[in-house]
Amino acid sequence: MDKNSLLILLVGANPLPNYLAAWALRPSKIALAYTKETAVAKDRLKTELKKVLGAAVGFVDPDPFVEDATCATTVQRVVRDILDSNKGSGDASTEFWLNYTGGTKVMAVHARTEFSARFPDRLDLASYLDEGEKGQQPRLRFDDGNSTELAEYDRIPLSLETILRLHGISHTPRTAKKPAPTKEDAEEILGKVLSNLPLARNLHCERKRLQDFTNPKKAVHVPFNSKRYGLTLSQPQFPTEALLNSLSDARSRKSWYEQWCKFIGGEWLEEWLGEQIRHLALDPKPMITVGVNARRETQLNARRETQLEIDVAVVRGHRSYFISCTTDTTKAICKSKLFEIAVRSRHLGGDLARAALVCLADDTIVEALQADIDDVWGATNTTCVFGLSDITTWSTCGGKQPNLSSLQTWMES
């Protein structure tokens, strides 16, 4: 963009497309047109844009307010006021751009109408974010018929933390409390589960049994014994008196104990999957987070929080991938988790996001689940279901070479 350029953005409920458009176009000034419903989203967006664009960009002050997003004349008047109030002077006249990806449909249509009336011969000044279809990458499409893929712009500084902050969500990454489970422990459990599927359910039951002991010291006399399940783990049994005494305080002991309970109960699959994604030769290199424990304050009551968990989250460039993992094999439980991650993924990343369920269900259930989500969603970024056959193919069990092609294909979609 020219050094005197102003980009008009229509702020929507999901400000991520606005964030991506602003980064790609790099104006010298931004006008964030918002409504009562998107006031909070607008403030979050401005905060993140200031972080990423720094002093190179300014903002129209005050932010343009659309009092009635369903009224054509109101929307047109707001756009007209932005154009009239920021003309510049002399040789330093401002070049205006409009990206109408966000906002309501009424806002997009009538902002575009007013803008084109002012600049009828400059269709290249208006754009929207096309989130892409199968075989087509996301791009900025300009109204003169040209387009530029997002990947062609400078690498977008997008992280999981940025996506969550745009939605007012904070999260605490999963941290290892030593002595922590290892990736070899996850491989060990996977190998035994693939040869004895009921083991996964038995380990889940062990987790429930152990978590009934709110004080880990009370579980010392009935610990988890890995040999009972034919497993060889870095901690043959837990908790033990010696291990608990090596930890500094009651809080540390409880945290360490809960870590191992959750690991044997199913988090081993999440950790193992994270390792498989790290093995993929992906460009740009993915940022992988295993175990997202997030919280968001409600707008109605700042003291109330809603909680969400994502088992594995991956961010690559402009794309985000959200994965739910379960060691369950039943259609009912798997379907519940499938639809939950589909909704959560779309809420956080819009159509640019990808979602998947990784489970231990057989091919028949996997096919049924995929058909269910395809029928309901009907979108180009339909959630993908991976089951027992896929996990077996991805694994090294039996000394074979893993085949991660289906996982890589999805990660590159």
With CA atoms as reference, report the closest residue to 229 among 192, 266, 187, 183. Answer: 192
Question: pLDDT tens for residues 251-290?
Answer: 999 999 999 999 999 999 999 999 999 999 898 889 999 9
pLDDT value of position 300: 47
Task: Kindly indicate the confidence band of residue 41, based on its pLDDT and cuts at 50, 70 and 90.
Answer: very high
For residues 6-29, average pLDDT: 95
Tell me how far apart the alpha carbons of residues 370 and 356 are, in angstroms, rounded to a whole number.
10
CB-CB neighbours of 262 under 10 Å: 18
**Model confidence at 318: pLDDT above 90:** no
The answer to whether residues 17 and 150 touch, using CB atoms and an 8 Å cutoff, is: no
Question: pLDDT tens for residues 84-95?
Answer: 998 764 445 789
Give residues with Cβ within 8 angstroms of 64, minimum separation 6: 31, 32, 33, 34, 78, 81, 82
Span 183-411 CATH architecture:
3-Layer(aba) Sandwich (3.40)
Q: Are strands 353-358 and 384-386 parallel, antiparallel or unpaired?
A: parallel
Measured on CA atoms in the order 69, 8, 380, 156, is the torsion positive or negative? Answer: negative
pLDDT value of position 288: 96
Task: Kindly indicate the confidence band of residue 11, based on its pLDDT and cuts at 50, 70 and 90.
Answer: very high
pLDDT value of position 376: 75
Q: Where are the alpha helices (DSSP H) in 226-362?
A: 241-245, 250-262, 268-279, 331-349
**Model confidence at 79: pLDDT above 70:** yes
Task: Kindly indicate the confidence band of residue 36, based on its pLDDT and cuts at 50, 70 and 90.
Answer: very high
Q: What percent of the chain has a predicted confidence (pLDDT) above 90?
A: 79
Question: pLDDT tens for residues 296-308?
Answer: 765 544 455 567 8
Is the omega angle on the peptide bond into residue 286 within 30 degrees of 0, that is, cis?
no
Question: pLDDT tens for residues 173-221?
Answer: 888 999 999 999 999 999 999 999 999 999 999 999 999 999 999 999 9
Structure tokens at 355: 């979602």
With CA atoms as reference, report the closest residue to 52 among 169, 162, 170, 167. Answer: 162
pLDDT value of position 400: 84
For residues 61-78, average pLDDT: 96
Sequence ranges of the domains in the chain: 5-157, 183-411
Q: Answer whether CATH 3.40.50.10770 is correct for domain 5-157.
A: yes
Question: pLDDT tens for residues 369-387?
Answer: 999 998 876 655 679 999 9
For residues 336-357, average pLDDT: 93
User: pTM for this one?
Assistant: 0.92
Bridge partners, residue 99, by sequence: 9, 127
pLDDT value of position 93: 78
Q: What percent of the chain has a predicted confidence (pLDDT) above 70?
A: 94
Tell me how far apart the alpha carbons of residues 18 and 5 are, in angstroms, rounded to a whole number.
16
DSSP run (H or E) holding 376: helix 363-377
pLDDT value of position 364: 98
pLDDT value of position 380: 55
Look over the chain and give the mean of its residue pLDDT values, rounded to a whole number: 92
Q: Is 328 helix (H, G, I), strand (E, B) or coil?
A: coil
CB-CB neighbours of 367 under 10 Å: 13
